Protein backbone atom coordinates (compact mmCIF):
# COMPACT_ATOMS: atom_id res chain seq x y z
CA UNK A 1 0.00 0.00 0.00
CA UNK A 2 2.73 2.46 0.92
CA UNK A 3 4.38 2.04 -2.46
CA UNK A 4 1.13 2.89 -4.26
CA UNK A 5 0.69 5.98 -2.09
CA UNK A 6 4.21 7.18 -2.90
CA UNK A 7 3.58 6.62 -6.62
CA UNK A 8 0.31 8.57 -6.36
CA UNK A 9 2.12 11.48 -4.69
CA UNK A 10 4.84 11.47 -7.36
CA UNK A 11 2.30 11.41 -10.19
CA UNK A 12 0.32 14.23 -8.56
CA UNK A 13 3.43 16.44 -8.50
CA UNK A 14 4.88 15.40 -11.85
CA UNK A 15 1.61 15.95 -13.72
CA UNK A 16 0.41 18.98 -11.73
CA UNK A 17 -2.83 17.03 -11.32
CA UNK A 18 -5.58 17.56 -8.78
CA UNK A 19 -6.09 13.87 -7.94
CA UNK A 20 -4.30 10.60 -8.63
CA UNK A 21 -5.51 7.13 -7.63
CA UNK A 22 -3.14 4.16 -7.83
CA UNK A 23 -3.32 0.40 -7.33
CA UNK A 24 -0.36 -1.65 -8.52
CA UNK A 25 0.08 -0.83 -12.23
CA UNK A 26 -3.29 0.85 -12.64
CA UNK A 27 -3.63 4.57 -12.10
CA UNK A 28 -5.96 7.41 -13.00
CA UNK A 29 -4.97 11.07 -13.16
CA UNK A 30 -7.47 13.91 -12.85
CA UNK A 31 -7.14 17.64 -13.48
CA UNK A 32 -10.64 18.85 -12.54
CA UNK A 33 -10.96 20.80 -9.32
CA UNK A 34 -13.33 20.13 -6.47
CA UNK A 35 -15.25 16.89 -5.96
CA UNK A 36 -15.86 16.23 -9.68
CA UNK A 37 -13.08 13.58 -10.03
CA UNK A 38 -14.39 11.69 -7.00
CA UNK A 39 -17.91 11.71 -8.43
CA UNK A 40 -16.55 10.37 -11.72
CA UNK A 41 -14.88 7.51 -9.84
CA UNK A 42 -18.11 6.76 -7.97
CA UNK A 43 -20.13 6.78 -11.18
CA UNK A 44 -17.97 4.28 -13.07
CA UNK A 45 -18.89 1.43 -10.70
CA UNK A 46 -15.37 0.07 -10.18
CA UNK A 47 -14.00 -1.29 -6.93
CA UNK A 48 -11.45 1.18 -5.51
CA UNK A 49 -11.02 -0.41 -2.09
CA UNK A 50 -7.37 -1.32 -2.76
CA UNK A 51 -6.44 2.03 -4.29
CA UNK A 52 -4.42 4.82 -2.74
CA UNK A 53 -4.99 8.47 -3.58
CA UNK A 54 -3.00 11.69 -3.64
CA UNK A 55 -5.15 14.82 -3.67
CA UNK A 56 -4.47 18.55 -3.56
CA UNK A 57 -7.34 19.59 -1.26
CA UNK A 58 -9.71 17.51 0.85
CA UNK A 59 -12.64 18.99 2.72
CA UNK A 60 -15.41 17.18 4.56
CA UNK A 61 -17.41 16.60 1.35
CA UNK A 62 -14.46 14.94 -0.39
CA UNK A 63 -13.72 12.91 2.74
CA UNK A 64 -17.23 11.44 2.67
CA UNK A 65 -16.80 10.59 -1.03
CA UNK A 66 -13.49 8.86 -0.27
CA UNK A 67 -15.24 6.82 2.43
CA UNK A 68 -17.98 5.92 -0.06
CA UNK A 69 -15.30 4.82 -2.57
CA UNK A 70 -13.64 2.69 0.09
CA UNK A 71 -10.09 4.01 -0.32
CA UNK A 72 -8.02 3.20 2.74
CA UNK A 73 -4.84 5.23 2.18
CA UNK A 74 -4.84 8.90 1.17
CA UNK A 75 -2.38 11.78 1.00
CA UNK A 76 -3.48 15.41 0.76
CA UNK A 77 -1.55 18.64 0.47
CA UNK A 78 -4.32 20.46 2.37
CA UNK A 79 -7.03 18.87 4.51
CA UNK A 80 -9.76 20.37 6.66
CA UNK A 81 -10.18 19.48 10.33
CA UNK A 82 -13.74 18.35 9.50
CA UNK A 83 -12.36 15.95 6.87
CA UNK A 84 -9.92 14.53 9.42
CA UNK A 85 -12.85 13.79 11.74
CA UNK A 86 -14.60 11.86 8.94
CA UNK A 87 -11.45 9.87 8.16
CA UNK A 88 -10.96 9.06 11.85
CA UNK A 89 -14.58 7.92 12.25
CA UNK A 90 -14.35 5.59 9.23
CA UNK A 91 -10.76 4.47 9.91
CA UNK A 92 -9.25 5.82 6.69
CA UNK A 93 -5.49 6.41 6.83
CA UNK A 94 -4.64 9.97 5.85
CA UNK A 95 -1.34 11.78 5.71
CA UNK A 96 -1.18 15.45 4.85
CA UNK A 97 1.10 18.41 4.45
CA UNK A 98 -1.14 21.14 5.88
CA UNK A 99 -4.35 21.34 7.95
CA UNK A 100 -7.00 24.08 7.99
CA UNK A 101 -10.28 24.51 9.94
CA UNK A 102 -12.41 24.58 6.75
CA UNK A 103 -11.73 24.75 3.02
CA UNK A 104 -12.26 28.16 1.42
CA UNK A 105 -14.05 28.76 -1.86
CA UNK A 106 -12.08 29.58 -5.01
CA UNK A 107 -12.47 33.34 -4.51
CA UNK A 108 -11.14 32.93 -0.92
CA UNK A 109 -13.99 35.09 0.39
CA UNK A 110 -15.99 32.36 2.12
CA UNK A 111 -16.18 28.63 2.69
CA UNK A 112 -16.28 26.07 -0.10
CA UNK A 113 -19.92 25.40 -1.06
CA UNK A 114 -19.36 21.63 -0.85
CA UNK A 115 -17.87 21.94 2.63
CA UNK A 116 -20.88 24.04 3.68
CA UNK A 117 -23.36 21.60 2.09
CA UNK A 118 -22.18 18.72 4.29
CA UNK A 119 -21.24 20.60 7.46
CA UNK A 120 -24.16 19.18 9.50
CA UNK A 121 -24.10 15.75 7.84
CA UNK A 122 -22.63 12.69 9.56
CA UNK A 123 -22.69 9.87 7.00
CA UNK A 124 -21.44 9.25 3.45
CA UNK A 125 -24.84 8.53 1.85
CA UNK A 126 -26.49 11.74 3.06
CA UNK A 127 -23.33 13.66 2.12
CA UNK A 128 -23.36 12.19 -1.40
CA UNK A 129 -26.98 13.32 -1.91
CA UNK A 130 -26.26 16.80 -0.49
CA UNK A 131 -23.22 17.18 -2.76
CA UNK A 132 -25.19 16.19 -5.86
CA UNK A 133 -27.99 18.61 -4.90
CA UNK A 134 -25.51 21.45 -4.31
CA UNK A 135 -23.83 20.81 -7.68
CA UNK A 136 -27.23 20.99 -9.40
CA UNK A 137 -27.96 24.30 -7.64
CA UNK A 138 -24.57 25.71 -8.68
CA UNK A 139 -25.13 24.60 -12.31
CA UNK A 140 -28.45 26.45 -12.42
CA UNK A 141 -26.71 29.64 -11.19
CA UNK A 142 -24.29 29.68 -14.16
- pLDDT tens for 29-84 read 999 999 999 999 999 889 999 999 999 999 999 999 999 999 979 999 999 999 99
pLDDT at position 65 is 97
pLDDT at position 88 is 97
Q: Is pLDDT of 99 > 90?
A: yes
User: What superfamily would CATH give domain 2-141?
Assistant: Hypothetical protein TM1506 (3.40.140.30)
d(CA 95, CA 40) in angstroms, rounded, equals: 23
Q: How confident is the model at residue 141 (pLDDT cuts 50, 70, 90)?
A: confident
d(CA 136, CA 15) in angstroms, rounded, equals: 30
Segments making up each domain of the chain, as ranges: 2-141
Tens digits of residue pLDDT in 114-124: 999 999 999 99
Q: How confident is the model at residue 26 (pLDDT cuts 50, 70, 90)?
A: very high
Cβ atoms 131, 119 nearer than 8 A: no
Half-sphere exposure of 112 (CA within 13 A, CB side): 25
Q: Where are the alpha helices (DSSP H) in the chain?
A: 2-15, 36-43, 60-69, 81-89, 113-117, 124-141
Q: Are strands 19-23 and 52-58 parallel, antiparallel or unpaired?
A: antiparallel
Q: How confident is the model at residue 2 (pLDDT cuts 50, 70, 90)?
A: low
Q: Are strands 93-100 and 52-58 parallel, antiparallel or unpaired?
A: unpaired
Amino acid sequence: MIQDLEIAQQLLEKNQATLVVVFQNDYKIFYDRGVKPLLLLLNNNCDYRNYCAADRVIGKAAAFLYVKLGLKEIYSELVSEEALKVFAKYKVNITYKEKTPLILNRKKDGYCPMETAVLQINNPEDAYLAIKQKLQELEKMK
